[in-house]
């Protein structure tokens, strides 16, 4: 098995915003509502979504799992006064969300993932998504059997930035933290969480929004070719 020149044996990624992009939430909800004969403007749905988020604690995902999204959808629907069984529609939306959402790989992810795989590196995902989300997302980009480990909220009933979720992935890969890279797009959940677990961390910042002097950042996943894997060029 080939190894990199810097001794890196594994690269772990966040999922949404790092490897894949998806249809924005209000647009998906609009399509689902129209499918069920409910017509609301995108402006109305966006306002209902923002209002619903004010009363949510995303840490509840660790206890509620899929029920969290049912309740989240129901809050949006209640704000929209849909006039039908909001609970039934909320369950439908949660169960079929990824049927109505476009999922695509970022171009740099589409290029780099096969290169890293061919190099013999272990690859994994550590996400604050649920198993049901991963089951809906990965087949859409033909990655359902690609990663060596996938850690979701269901795995430990914990979320990033808890270091334990990163350490669990490394344990499954039998890789030391010093031999692994983690890449994500959120400062607290991804960067500080993985940093706390001892991994080498990069913040993916495609839109050049982060300018901290003490943050390792990548404007593209292809920057890894310069920082760690120049021999793949």
| DSSP 3-state percent helix, strand, coil across the chain (nearest 5) | 50, 15, 35
Strands 122-126 and 103-105: unpaired
pTM more than 0.75? yes
> For residue range 59-114, what is the model confidence (pLDDT) as tens digits?
999 999 999 999 999 999 999 999 888 999 999 999 999 999 999 999 999 999 99
Contact criterion met (CB below 8 Å) for 103 and 137? yes
The domain segmentation of the chain, as residue ranges, is 10-22+103-232, 25-99
> For residue range 142-178, what is the model confidence (pLDDT) as tens digits?
999 999 999 999 999 999 999 999 999 999 999 999 9
Q: Which pLDDT belongs to residue 229?
A: 76
**What does the block give as tokens for 175?**
């890789």
CATH of 10-22+103-232, one of 3.30.70.100, 3.50.50.60, 2.160.10.10, 3.40.50.1000: 3.40.50.1000
How much is the mean pLDDT over the chain?
94
Contact criterion met (CB below 8 Å) for 199 and 182? yes
Q: Is pLDDT at 6 greater than 50 in this prediction?
A: no
Residues shown for the chain:
233
Q: Which pLDDT belongs to residue 84?
A: 81
């Amino acid at each position: 098995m080939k190894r990199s020149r810097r001794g890196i044996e594994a690269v772990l990624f966040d999922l949404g915003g790092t490897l894949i992009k998806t249809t924005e939430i209000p647009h998906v909800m609009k399509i689902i509502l129209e499918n069920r004969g409910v017509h609301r403007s995108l402006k109305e749905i966006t306002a209902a979504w923002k209002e619903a988020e004010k009363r949510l604690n995303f840490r509840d995902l660790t206890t509620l799992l899929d029920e969290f999204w049912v309740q989240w959808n129901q809050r949006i629907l209640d704000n929209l006064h849909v006039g039908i069984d909001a609970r039934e529609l909320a369950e439908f939306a949660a169960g079929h969300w990824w049927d109505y959402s476009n999922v695509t790989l970022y171009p740099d992810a589409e290029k780099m993932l096969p290169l890293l795989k061919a190099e013999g590196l272990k690859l994994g995902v550590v996400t604050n998504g649920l198993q049901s989300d991963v089951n809906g997302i990965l087949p859409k980009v033909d990655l359902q059997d690609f990663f060596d480990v996938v850690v979701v909220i269901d795995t430990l009933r914990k979320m990033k930035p808890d270091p334990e979720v990163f350490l669990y992935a490394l344990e499954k890969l039998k890789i030391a933290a010093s031999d692994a890279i983690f890449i994500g797009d959120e400062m607290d959940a991804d960067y500080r969480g993985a940093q706390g677990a001892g991994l080498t961390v990069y913040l993916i910042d495609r839109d050049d929004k982060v300018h901290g002097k003490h943050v390792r950042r990548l404007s593209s996943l292809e920057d890894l070719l310069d920082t760690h894997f120049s021999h793949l060029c």
